[in-house]
Amino acid sequence: MAQIFIYLLIAHLIGDWIIQTYWMANEKSKHFAPLLVHVASYHIFTFGALYLAGVDFMKAFWATLFLAVTHALLDNRRFEFWWLRRIKKVAEKDVPVWLLLGVDQSFHLILLFLVSFWLAR
């Protein structure tokens, strides 16, 4: 499980930080096209990481699809702002960037961990 998680973590760092453009980062919560481009490019690395980790093709496909859908749901920001309002009790206008980023990355990493656990079974 740890090996799969490390591969997914490296793919995450590449997809969410290294190759994500300014346009994707700033527009993905407002428009569908940058979100789609970001999610697609990110998950090319995700699938590649799972392939390199030796995960069965179909399991890698379903895991990548699950991560792509959940990634898109997180990156449109609706869930994150809901979480910040309901759970953290912070008004949307008062959310500092570091907190939004922290919540975003926490959920991405939790999902990567859960998928790693599922794939290792």
Decide if pLDDT at 25 tops 90. Answer: yes
Can you read off the two tokens belonging to residue 106? 């926490």
Average pLDDT over residues 13-42: 97
Percentage of the chain lying above the pLDDT 90 cut: 91
Decide if pLDDT at 93 tops 90. Answer: no
Average pLDDT over residues 85-113: 93
In whole angstroms, what is the distance from residue 72 CA to residue 28 CA? 9
Decide if pLDDT at 47 tops 90. Answer: yes
Decide if pLDDT at 30 tops 90. Answer: yes
Query: Could you tell me the pTM of the whole model?
Result: 0.91
In whole angstroms, what is the distance from residue 99 CA to residue 90 CA? 10
In whole angstroms, what is the distance from residue 93 CA to residue 89 CA? 12
At residue 1, the pLDDT reads: 82
